[in-house]
Amino acid sequence: MTHYFSAKPETPSEKSRIETRIRGIDFRFMTDTQVFSKRHVDFGTRLMLESAITELLARGIGRGRLLDLGCGYGVVGIAMKRVFPAMEVVMTDINERAVALSRENMKLNRCEFVSVIVSDGFSSIEGDFDVILTNPPVRAGKKTVFSFFDDSYSHLKEGGRLYTVLQKKQGAPSAYKKLQELFGSCEVIYKDSGYHIMRAIRSSGQSDASGASRSFEKNKRMNREEEWSE
């Protein structure tokens, strides 16, 4: 059985189109079977997106390099490019069907100069980023989710921001603790209906080595824990 986080979906394609409005902008997205939240824009994803946009606008951050990690059919990356046209946006997903949809949705929403890459996490991603947003695949298990955090830390520039969303019942407290240990601090910037929007900033005094040492013992303990259930 394959899932939305599988590289090559096996379920026959049945495309459909959804419409939504984000920050006063109308969007249309093609979706399909075996992609995440195919019937509507996921509630947690929307909360993360709105929270990140609000904070970045408030701080005057409108340029730099942005990564939509686990992009699905492209909601976050496309919306961020429309709101922040000066940003260099990269979108990536392991799911080849999702990546194809993201490319189609870029054209559908007149969104140009965005890179969309098939990648298992950061395996095919080059360079560092100023902003990373991810609604991690909790059904893939804690090890996968935490690897998203570890690798995001390593690919953030000094002062770079990671935004993520998890439900309390699906591991938000554990994720918060992990991010605190990895980044030195983490803030829950918004909560709604059990969803926690978290933001962690890589400070100028941190290095990959220090982050790795902080997470090493945690990762050993993590490997002895059970995976999050589906």
pLDDT tens readout for residues 2-31: 556 677 777 889 999 999 999 999 999 999
pLDDT, average across residues 194-212: 76
Q: What is the pLDDT of residues 50-87, one digit of tens each?
A: 999 999 999 999 999 999 999 999 999 999 999 999 99
pLDDT in the model for residue 206: 60
Write down the pTM of the prediction: 0.86
CA dist., res. 178 & res. 145, Å (int): 10
What domains can you pick out in the chain, each with its CATH number? 43-224 (3.40.50.150)
Alpha helices in the chain (DSSP H): 43-58, 75-83, 96-108, 142-154, 172-183, 208-224
Q: How does DSSP assign 134-182, residue by residue?
A: E---GGG-HHHHHHHHHHHHHTEEEEEEEEEEEEGGGTHHHHHHHHHHH
Residue 161: CB atoms within 10 A of its CB come to 24
pLDDT in the model for residue 122: 96
Q: What is the pLDDT of residues 135-157, one digit of tens each?
A: 998 888 899 999 999 999 999 99
CA dist., res. 72 & res. 97, Å (int): 9
Residue 196 identity (one-letter amino acid): H
